[in-house]
């Protein structure tokens, strides 16, 4: 098995499974700083060299900074850390944007950020275009290597592209359950060579054997913010009974490939056009699934598997009609 990589841009190759760090920001169990950073080294040694994080993910950026200090130089160059800039909507002057980027640089112990993924909460506030202009300037000056987005819809990215902004990626929710990106985001991204990085692909762990044949969880059973978030998504999609049908089908496919439900769910999205990588949340020091997740790279789904999966997803509500385009769940 070799962990596959992909090129996000000329000078930025990433692992196609990224390690997600939202899980260190609270609401996912007690994270111990030292165990988390030691665990990051193990991910890196196993070939999982790419981290997804954000300025708003609690201590995530400082964990990356400390982790980077522990890597020998020849290993450091193999590691990629993709952060996010998630400001409160308000005036976006150069000094405000630069202040935040400088904070990320300092915490992450680097002089140039591999990728900054920009998030904006309120489309009615057009200052997001000012922020993008300043971020682009900081990229041209070298503090940022590449600029990407997270949770922007197709309509707004089209505006940005028409204004000439150069963007390498958009990070969106994309899973067997939530295939909204296929309506307009994927075709648009293919046309403009924008890569998708996906989250929610495992629905916080719901897409696994753990939940096969289990009754609908009570609120108290949803022990992480991630499970709470995606339980709502399952509800909106079609409910627990239909979800069990999906898990049964995925389990059948997994057995056929001597694989796991999580592997099938990850591979299904990795095979989609425009998808560069799937982000899998890591509860550092609490749980890890590296051996299982590395099997994704040897797995090949066939057309029969895809037909079986769509025979279930075809019965669900259309999330694009219910929620809207990518990211609309945040607005």
Ligand X SMILES: NC(=O)c1ccc[n+]([C@@H]2O[C@H](COP(=O)([O-])OP(=O)(O)OC[C@H]3O[C@@H](n4cnc5c(N)ncnc54)[C@H](OP(=O)(O)O)[C@@H]3O)[C@@H](O)[C@H]2O)c1
Residues that bind ligand X (CB under 6 A): 20-23, 52, 150-151, 171, 199-205, 208, 226, 260, 262, 279-281, 283, 287, 289, 292-293
Comparing CB distances to ligand X, the nearer of 306 and 331 is 331
Distance of closest approach, residue 25 Cβ to ligand X, in angstroms: 8
Minimal CB distance to ligand X: which residue?
A: 20
Task: Reduce the DSSP state of residue 28 to 3 states and report it.
Answer: coil
Comparing CB distances to ligand X, the nearer of 151 and 316 is 151
Distance of closest approach, residue 35 Cβ to ligand X, in angstroms: 14
Q: What span, in angstroms and rounded, lies between the C-alpha atoms of 140 and 259?
A: 45
Comparing CB distances to ligand X, the nearer of 186 and 269 is 269
Please give the full DSSP string across 271-319, using - where no structure is assigned.
Answer: TSTTEEEEEEE--TTT---HHHHHGGGG----HHHHHHHHHHHTTS--H
By the 8 A CB rule, do 97 and 129 touch?
no
Distance of closest approach, residue 200 Cβ to ligand X, in angstroms: 4
Distance of closest approach, residue 177 Cβ to ligand X, in angstroms: 11
Instruction: Name the residue among 58, 49, 63 with its Cα closest to residue 18.
Output: 49
φ, ψ for residue 230 (rounded to 5)? -85, -15
Distance of closest approach, residue 196 Cβ to ligand X, in angstroms: 11
Comparing CB distances to ligand X, the nearer of 12 and 137 is 12
Distance of closest approach, residue 18 Cβ to ligand X, in angstroms: 7
Contacts of 223 (CB under 8 A, 6+ apart): 29
Comparing CB distances to ligand X, the nearer of 45 and 140 is 45
Comparing CB distances to ligand X, the nearer of 160 and 278 is 278
Q: Is 69 exposed, middle or buried (0-12, 13-18, 19+ CB in 10 A)?
A: exposed
By the 8 A CB rule, do 114 and 146 touch?
yes
């Amino acid at each position: 098995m070799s962990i596959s990589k992909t090129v996000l841009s000329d000078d930025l190759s990433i692992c196609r499974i990224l390690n997600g760090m939202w899980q260190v920001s609270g609401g996912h169990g007690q994270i111990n700083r030292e165990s988390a950073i030691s665990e990051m080294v193990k991910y890196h040694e196993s070939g999982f060299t790419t981290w997804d994080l954000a300025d708003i993910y609690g201590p995530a950026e400082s964990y990356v900074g400390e982790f980077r200090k522990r890597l020998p130089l020849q290993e450091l160059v193999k590691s990629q850390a993709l952060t996010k800039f998630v400001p409160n909507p308000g005036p976006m002057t150069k000094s405000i944007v630069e202040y935040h980027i400088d904070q990320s640089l300092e915490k992450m112990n680097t002089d140039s950020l591999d990728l900054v993924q920009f998030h904006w909460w309120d489309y009615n506030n057009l200052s997001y275009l000012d922020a993008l202009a300043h971020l682009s300037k900081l990229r041209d000056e070298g503090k940022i290597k590449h600029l990407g987005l997270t949770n922007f819809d197709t309509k707004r990215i089209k505006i940005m592209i028409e204004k000439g902004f150069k963007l390498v990626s958009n990070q969106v929710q994309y899973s067997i359950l939530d295939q909204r990106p296929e309506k307009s985001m994927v075709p648009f991204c293919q046309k403009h060579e924008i890569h998708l990085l996906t989250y929610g692909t495992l629905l916080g762990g719901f897409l696994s054997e753990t939940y096969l044949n289990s009754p609908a969880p009570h609120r108290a059973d949803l022990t992480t913010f991630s499970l709470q978030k995606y339980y709502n998504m399952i509800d909106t999609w079609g409910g627990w009974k239909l979800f069990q049908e999906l898990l049964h089908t995925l389990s059948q496919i997994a057995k056929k490939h001597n694989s796991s439900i999580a592997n099938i769910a990850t591979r299904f999205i990795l095979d989609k056009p425009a998808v560069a990588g799937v982000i899998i949340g890591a509860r550092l020091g609490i749980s890890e699934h590296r051996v299982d997740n590395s099997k994704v790279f040897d797995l090949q789904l066939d057309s029969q598997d895809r037909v079986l999966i769509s025979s279930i997803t075809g019965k669900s509500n259309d999330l694009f009609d219910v929620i809207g385009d990518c990211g609309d769940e945040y607005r």
